[in-house]
C-alpha cells in the first residue's frame, strides 16, 4: 500500500511524544520527531542490500517543499549507483542553506532524542535547558568536526564567569557525551572535551542548607503548620520531613504509588536518581496528611499537582519558595535539607546506619549487599519511620527539651528472628524529660 504524502498541517499539528516517531511522505522521505521537539528530515534507502539513512536537514529551516526538492536531487544519484551518504561524507558536504545535520546542536539533539526516554523525569529537561541556554547559541552553526578545544572552553567559561561553577562542569560533561556520540556515529574524530580536563576551577562542595538543632526543627514544623498559602503546598511541606525523599521524588509523586491501607509508598525505579525502586514506610502522621489531601487531588495523577495545570506536577521551586515565604532563607533551609535533617538526627539517635542510608535511597555499591540490605532492614525502617514521626511531633508541640539518651537509643544488634531477617531491636526512642 502506497504511503499518503504528509501535509503541512500534519507537520504543524504533530506533537512530541514520549518516544521518537516518524511522519512518512513517500519515496523514503520522512520527518522524525523527537521527544525534545526536534524534527529532522531523513531519506531511507537501500544501497548494495543494506538499509541506510541520509539527513536532508532540520525542520522548519528546511520546509516540506524544500525537503522534497532535496530528495529529487538525491534519488538520481542512487539510481546511478552512487551512495549519497558516502558521497556526502567524502565531500564533507551538507545541504546548502540548511541547519547542518553535523552541527553540534543537531547532533546534541539527536543524541538527546535517542537517550532521554530512559532517563528519570526532570533530568532530561534540566540537561536540554542547560545546553539550550549555555551552549547552543555559541556553537549553533559550527560543524562538530571543526570545533576546537579552546573554542569550547571559551563557551564553558562564560558559565563559570557567572559564578555557576557546578553548572559549567556539568555542561562540559554533557558536551563530552555529545562528542562521544558523534565519534560513534562517524561525524567527529575524537572527544575534544578530554583536552579540557582540569581547565575549570574545581567544584567546591556545598551542602544543602538544613536545620538540625531540635529546638529550631520544632519551630520550623510549627511554621509549616501555619503556612497560609496553597493547601497542596502546605501538605507537601508537612509530608517532606516525614518521608525525607529527594524534592523531585516528592513533587512528582503519583497516587498509584501509594497504598495507604498498608501505610506504604513504592517509588518506581524510573523516578529514582539511582534507577532503583524505593520503598517508603509511612508513619501514621504521613498517612493522615495524605488522606486529608486525597479528596482534593486523588482523582488526578499527581499527589501534588501544579496550581495552573493539574495535569502537571508542582513546580520544582514550589517547596523552596514556600520556605522563603515562611521566612527561611536559602542559607537556612531548603527542600533538600529535610534529608540532611533526618540523616543527622537519626544517626544521633543510634539507628543502624545501613537502615538510614537505605531509607535515604543512597546507592549501595555492591548489588548483592544492596539486595540483602533491602530485605534485612525493612522492618527496622518501618519502626524507624514511625519513631521519627513521633519525635518530630513532640518537637512540634514545643517539647524540644526532650532528648534521646545514648542508652535509650542503642541498637541491639542481636540474634535475628527466624521469621524476620531484620535486627531484633528494642524500642529505641522513649524520650524522657
For 254-280, give the DSSP string.
Answer: BGGGEEGGGTEEEE-GGGSTTSS-EEE
Question: Does 129 participate in catalysis according to the annotation?
Answer: no
Sheet holding 278-281, edge to edge: 258-259, 264-267, 278-281
Question: Does 352 participate in catalysis according to the annotation?
Answer: no
User: Could you give the 3-state DSSP secondary structure of residue 250?
Assistant: helix
- Which residue is catalytic, options 273, 301, 324, 394? 273
Question: Does 325 participate in catalysis according to the annotation?
Answer: no
Q: Is the peptide bond before 60 cis (omega within 30 degrees of 0)?
A: yes
Of 75, 67, 72, 138, which is closest to residue 108 (Cα–Cα)?
138
- Which residue is catalytic, options 187, 234, 238, 339? 339
Question: Does 273 participate in catalysis according to the annotation?
Answer: yes
- Which residue is catalytic, options 109, 234, 251, 336? 336
Rounded CA-CA distance 359/152 in Å is: 41
Instruction: Please state, as a whole number, how many other Cβ atoms lie within 10 Å of the Cβ of residue 150.
Output: 11
- Which residue is catalytic, options 129, 362, 369, 430? 362
CB 21 within 8 A of CB 4: no
CB 286 within 8 A of CB 243: yes
- Which residue is catalytic, options 246, 376, 382, 396? 246
Instruction: Please state, as a whole number, how many other Cβ atoms lie within 10 Å of the Cβ of residue 9.
Output: 8
Question: Does 339 participate in catalysis according to the annotation?
Answer: yes
CB 113 within 8 A of CB 20: yes
- Which residue is catalytic, options 372, 374, 394, 403? 372
Instruction: Please state, as a whole number, how many other Cβ atoms lie within 10 Å of the Cβ of residue 341.
Output: 23
The three three-digit cell numbers of residue 160, written as one number: 563559570
CA atoms within 13 A on the CB side of 198: 1
CA atoms within 13 A on the CB side of 417: 13
Burial of 43 (C-beta count, 10 Å sphere; 0-12/13-18/19+): buried
**Residues acting as catalytic residues:** 246, 273, 336, 339, 362, 372
Amino acid at each position: 500500500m502506497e504511503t499518503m504524502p504528509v501535509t503541512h498541517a500534519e507537520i504543524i499539528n504533530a506533537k512530541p511524544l514520549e518516544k521518537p516517531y516518524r511522519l512518512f511522505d513517500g519515496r523514503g522521505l520522512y520527518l522524525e520527531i523527537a521527544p525534545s521537539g526536534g524534527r529532522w528530515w531523513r531519506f531511507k534507502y537501500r544501497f548494495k542490500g543494506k538499509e541506510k539513512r541520509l539527513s536532508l536537514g532540520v525542520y522548519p529551516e528546511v520546509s516540506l517543499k524544500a525537503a522534497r526538492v532535496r530528495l529529487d536531487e538525491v534519488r538520481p544519484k542512487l539510481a546511478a549507483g552512487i551512495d549519497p551518504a558516502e558521497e556526502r561524507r567524502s565531500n564533507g558536504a551538507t545541504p546548502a542553506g540548511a541547519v547542518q545535520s553535523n552541527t553540534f546542536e543537531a547532533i546534541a539533539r539527536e543524541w538527546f532524542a535517542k537517550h532521554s526516554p530512559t532517563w528519570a523525569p526532570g533530568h532530561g529537561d534540566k540537561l536540554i535547558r542547560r545546553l539550550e541556554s549555555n551552549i547552543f547559541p555559541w556553537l549553533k552553526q559550527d560543524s562538530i568536526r571543526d570545533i576546537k578545544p579552546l573554542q569550547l572552553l571559551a563557551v564553558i567559561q562564560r558559565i563559570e564567569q557567572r559564578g555557576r561553577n557546578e553548572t559549567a562542569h556539568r555542561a562540559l560533561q554533557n558536551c563530552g557525551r555529545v562528542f562521544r556520540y558523534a565519534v560513534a556515529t562517524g561525524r567527529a574524530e575524537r572527544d575534544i572535551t578530554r583536552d579540557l580536563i582540569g581547565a575549570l576551577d574545581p567544584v567546591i562542595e556545598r551542602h544543602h542548607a538544613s536545620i538540625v538543632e531540635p529546638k529550631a526543627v520544632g519551630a520550623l514544623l510549627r511554621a509549616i503548620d501555619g503556612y497560609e498559602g496553597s493547601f497542596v503546598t502546605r501538605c507537601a511541606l508537612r509530608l517532606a520531613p516525614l518521608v525525607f525523599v529527594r524534592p523531585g521524588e516528592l513533587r512528582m509523586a503519583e497516587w498509584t504509588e501509594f497504598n495507604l491501607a498498608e501505610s506504604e509508598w513504592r517509588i518506581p525505579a524510573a523516578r529514582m536518581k539511582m534507577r532503583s525502586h524505593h520503598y517508603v514506610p509511612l508513619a501514621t502522621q504521613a498517612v493522615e496528611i495524605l488522606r486529608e489531601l486525597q479528596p482534593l487531588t486523588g482523582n488526578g495523577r499527581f499527589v501534588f499537582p501544579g496550581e495552573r495545570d493539574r495535569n502537571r506536577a508542582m513546580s520544582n521551586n514550589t517547596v523552596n519558595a514556600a520556605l522563603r515565604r515562611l521566612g527561611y532563607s536559602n542559607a537556612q533551609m531548603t527542600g533538600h535539607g529535610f534529608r540532611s535533617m533526618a540523616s543527622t538526627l537519626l544517626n544521633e539517635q543510634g539507628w543502624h546506619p545501613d537502615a538510614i542510608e537505605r531509607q535515604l535511597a543512597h546507592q549501595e555499591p555492591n548489588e548483592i549487599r544492596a539486595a540483602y540490605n533491602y530485605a534485612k532492614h525493612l522492618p527496622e525502617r518501618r519502626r524507624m519511620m514511625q519513631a521519627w514521626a513521633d519525635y518530630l511531633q513532640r518537637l512540634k508541640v514545643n517539647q524540644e527539651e526532650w532528648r534521646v539518651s545514648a542508652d535509650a537509643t542503642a541498637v541491639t544488634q542481636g540474634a535475628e528472628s527466624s521469621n524476620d531477617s531484620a535486627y531484633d531491636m528494642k524500642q529505641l526512642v522513649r524520650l524522657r524529660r
